[in-house]
Every structure is written in C-alpha cells, then in structure tokens.
Amino acid sequence: MSEEMIHELDAEALELFAKKGHEGGPKVAQGGLANGVKVRRIMQLTADLARRPFAELRILDLGCGEGVYAIEAALRGAQVVALDARTQRMERGAACARRHGLDNVRFIQQDVRMAKREALGSFDVVYLLGLLYHLDASDLFSVLENVHAMCSDLLIIDTLISLTPEEQVVWRGVSYAGRRHREHGDEDDLELRRSRVLKSIDNTFSFHLTRESLVRALAGAGFTSICECYAPFEPGKAADRITMVAGKGNPVLLSTYPWVNHKSEDWIAQELALADSPDIADSGERPDQGR
C-alpha cells in the first residue's frame, strides 16, 4: 500500500479551490471549502476501487470546471485528461497545473456530448461529477453509452436525482422515470446561457433521473455492477444528490444457479415473479422449467 503524502500548493491555487461553486451564491451546498469532503470521497473511491495505484491510471474528468479533481489525481501520479465545454474556470485550473509542473494533466475544451472513444481513447477511471443532471433526456443516455465505451474499469458519478417519478422518458424502448428541470429561460440567448457556469451549456431543460432509473440507465449502458457510496461521509450533502460507482467487467456465469446465465434482468424478474406465484411454488418447478 502506497503512503499518502501532501503536496504544497501555492496560495493562488488554494484560493481558487476555496471559491469553487461560489458563483451560485450562498445557497450552493458544499461550495467553497466544504467541497473538500466531495474531493476526499472521489479520491478515496478511486484509491479503493481502481485496480491499480494512481500512478498507473489514466483518468478522464468530464465537466472538470476548475479541475480540482483532475489536479488532485494528477498530484497522485495519474495521467489525466480534463474536459469542459467552457473555458472560464478551466483556464484557471490549467494555469494552476502549469505553475505546479503537472505535465501529466491535459485540459481540453469540448462539449461532453461530443466526447467519444474514437477521439479521446480509453480510460481506467472516468469522473462524471456534477454534470449528468445538466443534460436533457435526449442527451444523457447517449452520454452514458459513450462513457461506457471510453471506460475500461470504473465510472464515478456524483449527481442530482429526482426523489419522485414525475415524468417518463423512453430510451431504446425502455421507460425511465424522473423530473424535468429548467436550466434557462426560453428566450435566453446562447451567450447568456454559456455565461451561467453552474447551468447547462445550452439546453433549456435537463432531466433528473430517479435513483432506480439511474441504476437501470447505467446497467442499460453496459456497466456490470453499480453501487452507491455512503462513506467517506459528506456532511451537508443534499438528500437528492448521490455518488454512484459503476464497474465495467464481464458478466459472471454461475454453476450453482445456471438458470440466470445469459438472461436479461427483465426476464429474470419475470421468472422470479412466476416462481413466487402459489401454483409454481407448490409444484416445486425451477423458474425456467417449461419455458
């Protein structure tokens, strides 16, 4: 196990990160110095769940903003690509990286909706932090699929969710629940929309998935395991904001219960529902017998 060490950053860098999120006013949860608990959580998850130490990881930070996660990971030795559609905050992070000699982090201006494996390559770990909930339903599912293609091991998401299933959207024939959220006014021009750094880059509405639908969307994109993080703790984290980790691997095959192998989740759920019915339970049949 590698020993932790603290890198000394200059006063300008510490001030930059201490002001993170303050553009949204005093009501922004975990803004400024309080954002430290979020960074701690993401770094701990990466350290605990990635299959190799930071120095052997290639990390993609989507919607990087000032680049605090990218810089923290780069200080630990990772090769990092940090991407954001806006340059206002990202340029400050890039300047911070240059001042501290971090040539292992590269900042790129690009819309996350355009980020694909063909151009960027593959990454051991992908960060999708504070971004997914700014995407409209027409984009968020395709972004998850593109992220799956770029991710070889681990995706870490921090996002707002809808606590109530107010509306349904359909992607590839599957229905997902959530809530529409207004990002901008109908008449707001593109320049005004881009100036709001804590809002979407251009879309008028975004779609916040429920917790269950987010899990189903990640599974639908191809991730094989999805877990929610509760520790390291984040005091002040809103009830409708969660951290999830999605692993990308090969589906396991069982010798002890072969009936679940190569079956869809919907098929398995239907079979279990049938098995719970009194007629099937009394007959002692396996869930897949006679089908």
Contact 242, 42 (CB under 8 A): no
- Hey, what are 134's tokens? 């700014």
CATH 3.40.50.150, the chain: domain bounds: 11-250
- Hey, what are 71's tokens? 């810089």
Q: For domain 11-250, which CATH number applies: 3.40.50.720, 3.20.20.70, 3.40.50.150, 3.40.630.30? A: 3.40.50.150
CA dihedral 214, 219, 220, 221 (to 10 degrees): 90
In the chain, which residues have pLDDT < 50? 281, 284, 290-291
pLDDT for res 32: 79
User: Of 163, 160, 154, 98, which Cα lies nearest the Cα of 132?
Assistant: 160
The kind and range of the H/E element at 273 are helix 265-275
Token pair 């079979």 is at which residue?
271
Q: What whole-number distance in Å separates Cα of residue 204 and Cα of residue 241? A: 21
pLDDT for res 288: 57
pTM exceeding the 0.85 threshold for the entire prediction: yes
